[in-house]
Amino acid sequence: MGPVSGLVLYLVIWFLTFLVVLPIRITTQGEAGTTVAGTHAGSPEQHHLKKKAWIVTGVAFVIWAVVATIILTEAISVRDIDMFGRMGPVE
């Protein structure tokens, strides 16, 4: 795995983790009772994006380190997940 593919892997893991963390502990305007005119009651009251981004950066780095180690040591290869035997025998 080269540096660019390592960076792409990290960014994919970061965005997936961010999308998972984004709706956690969010208070909507409807729940807070402070609905602003022209907005939906489901709009967030406080989104805490900066805090969530920093947390996701750390968590994504740990996940990336585990995945990169598995890829670089070849602990799990593509042949290990070839359930239908389409890759043929090992030469």
Tens-digit pLDDT profile for residues 68-83: 999 999 898 888 888 8
User: Burial level of 3, CB count in 10 A (0-12/13-18/19+)?
Assistant: exposed
Rg of the chain, C-alpha, whole Å: 20
Whole-angstrom Cα distance, residue 63 to residue 35? Answer: 38
Q: Mean pLDDT over residues 37-60, rounded?
A: 89
Q: What is the pLDDT of residue 69?
A: 94
What do you get for the CA distance between the two ends of the chain, in Å? 22
The reported pTM is 0.78
For residues 35 and 41, the answer to whether their CB atoms sit within 8 Å is yes
Q: Mean pLDDT over residues 47-65, rounded?
A: 94
Q: What is the pLDDT of residue 66?
A: 96
